């Protein structure tokens, strides 16, 4: 099929998609880019950086013309596909409707991989009005390598432009002409085991094109004879006083002309200004540095200190630099930065303990996944980061897949710490990981890795949200690789701790990682997390969870066919395409066996999902609660936990706290409950009831109450403790311990915990479903991904709970594009039975979830006569013109939907 026929087919499919797809299909669907043909207008202002607005792309199998023709202005790119400014090949084809929704069923499996085993052309036109300024192409994010052409001339080869993270600046001044110019990239296919790029390991079914393309902006820079590069600020905060800070401004002044030049480099940070005259020989580069010793204003008293969310504010400073020649601006540079101090020493047990501005904090995070096709959507990313804050998390770990600059800008703004680093299980660790996936390195790989480290260090160093770089993941680098990384980091003035690996490994210079990667990655019972061994709550666990996180029924119906949904709940041994390509994680058997063993065999898809949400709530809650409780222990404290994973890049059945569409279920609300600022919780190991204070300030005058019930609501035990106090910064106090035995208690029972303040106002409520028969772990047969369970807790008694009516009333107010729906729930049952895990979903007139949404609380349990008022905040536009409605359901609550107006 020739290119013209392909384009025609794409247009027809795109039209059909537009006719049949509603907002429900994907609220973050990526619309087709504008047709190619409109060149990017490049500014002539010195210091400007204009991003190319898009490309026309086509397979080299369909293009027989010489590279010189393809890369020349006026070339007729007939039948080529329009692509956005950051786009993989497959992302462009999806945007043009060439393939069916890859997030549904096994559609992605039907995309032919052979189409992406040849190079693809990326072609873009740009216009320049004035060629008196110099012109540069500035880019990174090429996957996996590219030959680069400008106006018919090759300016770089794939040997030079290789690796996702390497940064390139090409001086194309001599080629650029007034009017229209063309840049073309001939992109090589990607193979993560062979190239220092990106791979997907076992997270999801990998994209057929392996993400080949250009996934960051290609900038056209303009400037005069002297260029400013590498501008940044080194900060030194006085700790613990935080009373002063010293700033050192650094940059490189580079003379790109063939004659000597004298430049005045001037700059400002706030009201502080500074300048220096620099004399440069032809093509000479000199470092320019301003320190507090020569610029007193760079010594700050009472600096505005940047803190993680919940610990303080997130102020940022701006650096502005200008290089002038003969009184004319030649170039400018601008950087934002924050002032904060990050240290991460090893504690007496060898665990890495982070300190921000002198204060210890427990790292509570999640593993980040970008969109599977690396499509950048600022709103979608911002929504997920807001979810992180809503969950009480403070950190996002990026194992490879290092997002564009805007991601870290958002993290700075919201106060979310980030732990970027290189990824495992492909070429990045191929030299050191024994027999695992990833080719051994050749001599050509070492400079690429070092250049990648240098580029990412320069890009990330000024972001206060970035608190480390992990130079290894499952394995630490060897001496040669580590030296290259550390040399690059040092040259970039890297300001925060460098960690050898995310696993319990060491490298020659960096020493012990202080982290563990002991799993689990598949199902374990909630009590697992309380043991101070393997993945339990001690030390710094860099990636761990109980594996599967089955989404809501709404999402399952969007991502799977009716036949696939039938298999999902009926056949635990079935391979699940939406879990993982890994044979280890190919099925849900461990999870399904536990679900049946603890709650009883599912009787329908709805029953399966109902039990899954209950199981995920209790397990995720236990994971974060155990790490939270143990954070200030005198012996073997917990110092960090990263939930594996925070989110998924596609429609998944595992490793996610929320699903692809940002719907929330048991996993989400279990995490939100566990990470509340002031929280009362139950300990699975010793039956203690503990109050944790995740705020900085201590609190006193608290009252904790623990009440034990049978599933039908009969009270069997009740105890209240008054006058409780707890220190801040993650400290805890034990309020009471439940008896080992309570008379008349069935094998399944409920525990309700409440925490009230000195005036009697309820601060927190936490409900557990427990068993007199514990889950029994077979520690001797622990594998890298789980510890077997030989007998299960008996929670089947929950099935005997009577159906309980819950009334709901709702009202909505809207202002400035944001709507808030307030919902009041009441258990109107006449008996004693509580409504367990009552879920509230905001839906439109067709019953479709309105997403994203941030609830004040959800999945609440109410005893007869009790009520709860919840608020949901969301974008008014996400109603798509519909009136809001509220759908209420629960473990033993009949589903009903009420108006939300």
Catalytic residues: 474, 543
As given in the structure block, the two tokens for residue 801 are 């709970």
**In angstroms, rounded to a whole number, what is the distance separating the alpha carbons of residues 779 and 526?**
15
Query: DSSP 3-state assignment of 663?
Result: coil
- Pairwise CA distance, residues 786 & 796, whole Å: 24
Q: Return the beta strands (E) in 437-535 as ranges.
A: 469-470, 498-499, 506-507, 511-512
Question: Measuring CA to CA, how many Å separate 373 from each of 25, 91, 216, 645?
Answer: 17, 6, 13, 18
881 exposed, middle or buried (CB, 10 Å; 0-12, 13-18, 19+)? Answer: exposed
Alpha carbons 575 and 581: distance in angstroms, whole number: 9
d(CA 582, CA 700): 50
Q: 């593993």: which residue's tokens?
A: 367
Q: Which of 305, 495, 491, 338 is nearest to 408 (CA)?
A: 338
Burial 502-513 (b: 16+ CB within 10 A, else e): bbbbebeebebb
User: Shortest CA distance to 212 belongs to which of 274, 271, 164?
Assistant: 164
User: In 3D, which of 675, 440, 676, 666 has the Cα closest to residue 555?
Assistant: 666
- Determine contact, residues 128/167, Cβ cutoff 8 Å: no
β-sheet bridge partners, residue 244: 301
- Beta-carbon neighbour count of residue 198 at 10 Å? 23
Sign of CA dihedral 565, 566, 571, 572: positive
Do the beta carbons of residue 300 and residue 247 sit within 8 Å?
yes
Contact 614, 668 (CB under 8 A): no
Instruction: Please give the structure tokens belonging to residue 7.
Output: 């384009």
CA 540 to chain centre: 19
Give, in order, the Cα–Cα distances in Å from 894 to each of 540, 622, 829: 42, 27, 12
Compute the residue count for the chain: 901
What's the per-residue H, E or C state across 72-122? CCCCCCCCCEEECCCEEHHHHHHHCCCCCCCCCCCHHHHCCHHHHCCCEEE
Angle at 73 between CA 67 and CA 75, to 5 degrees: 60
* Residues ≥6 apart with Cβ < 8 Å to 80: 3, 7, 36, 56, 57, 58, 121, 123
- Of the candidates 716, 199, 283, 288, the one whose C-alpha atom is nearest the C-alpha of residue 473 is 199
d(CA 270, CA 265) in angstroms, rounded, equals: 17
To which residue do tokens 């696993």 refer?
503
CA–centroid distance for 372 within its chain: 12
Per DSSP, the three-state class of 550 is coil
Residue 149's φ and ψ, nearest 5 degrees, are -130, 145
DSSP state of 508: T
Instruction: State how far the Cα of 534 lies from the Cα of 452, in Å rounded to an integer.
Output: 33
């Amino acid at each position: 099929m020739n290119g013209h026929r392909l384009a025609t087919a794409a247009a027809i499919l795109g039209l059909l998609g537009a006719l049949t797809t509603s907002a429900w299909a994907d609220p973050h669907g990526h619309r087709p880019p504008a047709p190619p043909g409109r060149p990017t207008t490049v500014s002539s202002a010195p210091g400007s950086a204009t991003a190319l607005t898009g490309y026309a792309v086509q397979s080299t199998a369909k293009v027989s013309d010489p590279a010189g023709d393809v890369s020349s202005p006026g070339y007729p790119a007939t039948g080529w596909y329009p692509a956005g400014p950051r786009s993989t090949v497959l992302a462009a084809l999806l945007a043009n409707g060439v393939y069916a929704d890859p997030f549904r069923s096994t559609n992605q499996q039907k995309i032919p991989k052979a189409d992406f085993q040849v190079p693809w052309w990326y072609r873009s036109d740009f216009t320049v009005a004035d060629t008196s300024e110099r012109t540069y192409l500035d880019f990174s994010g090429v996957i996996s390598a590219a030959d680069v052409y400008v106006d018919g001339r090759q300016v770089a080869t794939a040997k030079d432009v290789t690796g996702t993270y390497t940064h390139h600046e090409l001086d194309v001044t001599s080629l650029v002409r007034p009017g229209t110019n063309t840049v073309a990239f001939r992109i090589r296919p990607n193979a993560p085991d062979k190239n220092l790029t990106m791979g997907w390991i076992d997270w999801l079914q990998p994209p057929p094109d392996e993400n080949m393309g250009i996934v960051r902006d290609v900038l056209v820079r303009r400037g005069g004879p002297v260029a400013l590069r590498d501008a940044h600020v080194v900060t030194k905060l006085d700790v613990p006083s935080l009373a002063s800070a010293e700033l050192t401004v650094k940059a490189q002044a580079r003379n790109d002309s063939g004659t000597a030049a004298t430049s005045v480099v001037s700059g400002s940070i706030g009201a502080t200004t500074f300048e220096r005259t620099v004399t440069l020989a032809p093509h000479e580069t000199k470092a320019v540095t301003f320190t507090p010793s020569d610029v007193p204003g760079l010594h700050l008293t009472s600096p505005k200190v940047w803190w993680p969310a919940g610990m303080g504010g997130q102020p940022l400073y701006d650096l502005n630099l200008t290089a002038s020649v003969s009184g004319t601006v030649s170039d400018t540079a601008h950087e934002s930065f924050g002032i904060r101090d990050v240290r991460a020493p090893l504690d007496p047990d060898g665990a890495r303990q982070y300190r921000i501005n002198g204060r210890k904090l427990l790292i509570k995070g999640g593993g980040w996944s970008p969109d599977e096709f690396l499509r950048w959507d600022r709103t979608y990313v911002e929504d997920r980061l807001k979810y992180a804050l809503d969950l009480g998390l403070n950190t996002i770990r990026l194992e490879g897949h290092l997002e564009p600059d805007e991601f870290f800008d958002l993290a700075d703004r919201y106060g979310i710490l980030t732990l970027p680093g290189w990824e495992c299980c492909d070429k990045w660790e191929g030299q050191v990981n024994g027999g695992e996936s990833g080719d051994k390195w050749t001599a050509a790989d070492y400079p690429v890795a070092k250049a990648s480290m240098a580029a990412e260090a320069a890009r990330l160093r000024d972001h206060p949200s970035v608190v480390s770089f992990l130079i290894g993941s499952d394995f630490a680098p060897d001496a040669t690789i580590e030296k290259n990384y550390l040399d690059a980091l040092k040259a970039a003035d890297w300001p925060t701790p460098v960690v050898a690996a995310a696993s319990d490994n060491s490298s020659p210079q960096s020493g012990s990682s202080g982290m563990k990667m002991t799993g689990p990655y598949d199902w374990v019972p909630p009590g697992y997390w309380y043991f101070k061994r393997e993945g339990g709550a001690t030390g710094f666990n860099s990636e761990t969870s109980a594996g599967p996180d089955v989404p809501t029924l709404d999402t399952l119906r969007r991502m799977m066919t009716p036949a696939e949904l039938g298999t999902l709940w009926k056949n635990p041994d079935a391979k699940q395409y939406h879990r993982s390509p890994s044979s280890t994680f190919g099925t849900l058997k461990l999870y399904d066996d536990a679900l049946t063993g603890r709650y009883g065999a599912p009787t329908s898809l709805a029953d399966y999902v109902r039990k899954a949400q209950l199981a995920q709530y209790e397990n995720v809650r236990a994971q974060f609660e155990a790490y939270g409780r143990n954070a200030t222990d005198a012996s073997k404290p917990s110092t960090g936990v990263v939930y594996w994973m925070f989110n998924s890049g596609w429609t998944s059945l595992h490793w996610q706290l929320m699903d692809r569409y940002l719907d929330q279920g048991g996993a989400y609300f279990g995490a939100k409950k566990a990470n509340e600022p002031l929280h009362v919780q139950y300990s699975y190991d010793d039956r203690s009831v503990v109050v944790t204070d995740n705020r900085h300030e201590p609190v006193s005058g608290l009252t904790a109450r623990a009440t034990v019930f049978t599933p039908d609501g009969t009270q069997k035990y009740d105890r209240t403790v008054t006058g409780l106090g707890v220190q801040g910064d993650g400290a805890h106090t034990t309020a009471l311990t439940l008896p080992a035995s309570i008379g008349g208690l069935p094998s399944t029972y409920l525990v309700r915990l409440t925490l009230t303040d000195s005036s009697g106002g309820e601060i927190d409520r936490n409900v557990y479903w427990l068993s007199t028969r514990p889950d029994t772990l077979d520690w001797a047969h622990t594998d890298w991904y789980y510890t077997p369970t030989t007998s299960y807790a008996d929670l089947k008694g929950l099935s005997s709970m009577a159906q309980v009516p819950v009334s709901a009333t709702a009202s909505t107010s809207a202002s400035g594009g944001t709507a808030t729906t307030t919902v009041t729930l009441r258990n109107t049952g006449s008996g004693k039975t509580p409504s367990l895990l009552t879920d509230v979903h905001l839906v439109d007139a067709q019953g479709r979830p309105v997403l994203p949404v941030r609830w004040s609380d959800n999945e609440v349990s109410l005893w007869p006569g009790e009520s709860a008022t919840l608020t949901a905040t969301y974008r008014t536009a996400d109603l798509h013109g519909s009136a809001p409605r509220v759908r209420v359901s629960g473990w033993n609550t009949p589903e009903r939907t009420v108006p939300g107006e």
